[in-house]
Structure 1
């Protein structure tokens, strides 16, 4: 049984755990401390408010140890605010958080809460069927480094990408019944790495 943690500071923690628990051989766990994170095979950084999450991680002295763990290969998936936490560059904002993924991100790229939307895409690398995407005050990726794989674009904007042990999505797969991205994260970033 693989253990996948969801950083339980704020955001859709229980929704991610419910999705993880629907996958075979996976147990989803809410994690809040480095001791708990050290027990998991992969970590999801959920949506929420990136500035608040960064401050809380800093207050509890978790930014540096978690940055080191990610840099050393911990499989990690950032959704929405989690994407911002992983980015090396944040447009119009000098503050960085983990700075582990070679991407430049625009916060609230799609506007306010009123500009939230849903759409459906076909991503053969991720799933055989169409995948529903939910965007809520979503960021998007403006620029990627050479080693970053772009997984999805919406209206010409990058909304999903991968680099080494890191996966990011602008949208919220945990707010749908579709498990494509949770399965993709588990199979490609956790299970495959454990098998090597």
Structure 2
């Protein structure tokens, strides 16, 4: 069966995620309203501006719908701003969040836009070859609960983690030709 994956398309890098998913053979739905969630097998929350996306999620109760789907085991993958929105706690911020992952996140943890960088990450769950990772005003997970699996760290900071049906990365896998992160997420959909 062909996977039908939703990409939250309110703001941010949703087009790039769409292209990767289509390359991997998925049907992709750009999610802009609550009715767009109908029939999806997974959801990606892209990078962008987490405060802006959070405000937009309050319209039409989209955030409440994502919370409901997340607690019903729909696989959800948040990249960069998506990682921030998935976390239960955001350091020094009371901004809107989905409150799904048992994590504490720090925004802009590696510096401002000019401090953006690329690096090779070792992700044992994805084999021995390093993964090229693009960090843009990236967050990191300062704390994770015991039920959260750490998939990768950069300089001692958690930048990739999984909690059951939830996946979060501080980096932007949609900006490199390496398809392993998206394939990992599609494999999570198969599990659920």
Shorter-chain TM-score bucket reads over 0.9
Stretches of structure 1 that go unaligned for 5 or more consecutive residues are: none
- Residue 55 of structure 2 contacts residue 96 of structure 2 at CA under 8 Å; is this kept in 1? no
Q: TM-score, normalised by structure 2?
A: 0.96
1:173-184 to structure 2, matched below 5 A, reads 173-184=173-184
Deviation at 1:34, TM superposition (A): 1.7
Q: Distance in 2 between matches of 1:48 and 1:146?
A: 28
Which residue does the alignment assign to 1:6? 7
Stretches of structure 2 that go unaligned for 5 or more consecutive residues are: none
Q: Distance in 1 between matches of 2:7 and 2:127?
A: 22
Q: Distance in 2 between matches of 1:127 and 1:10?
A: 32
The answer as to 2:101 corresponding to 1:98 is: no
- Residue 42 of structure 2 contacts residue 74 of structure 2 at CA under 8 Å; is this kept in 1? yes
Deviation at 1:95, TM superposition (A): 3.1
SS in 1 for 2:153: strand
Q: TM-score, normalised by structure 1?
A: 0.94
The answer as to 2:22 corresponding to 1:21 is: yes
Q: Distance in 2 between matches of 1:94 and 1:122?
A: 33
- Residue 91 of structure 1 contacts residue 106 of structure 1 at CA under 8 Å; is this kept in 2? yes
1:139-154 to structure 2, matched below 5 A, reads 139-154=139-154
1:1-196 to structure 2, matched below 5 A, reads 1-24=2-25, 26-187=26-187, 189-193=188-192
Q: Distance in 1 between matches of 2:52 and 2:15?
A: 19
Q: Distance in 2 between matches of 1:71 and 1:192?
A: 16
Q: Distance in 2 between matches of 1:96 and 1:52?
A: 9
Aligned residue-pair number:
191
Cα distance per residue 1:134-188 (max 9 Å; x no partner): 000000000000100000000000000000100000000001111010000001x
Deviation at 1:128, TM superposition (A): 4.5
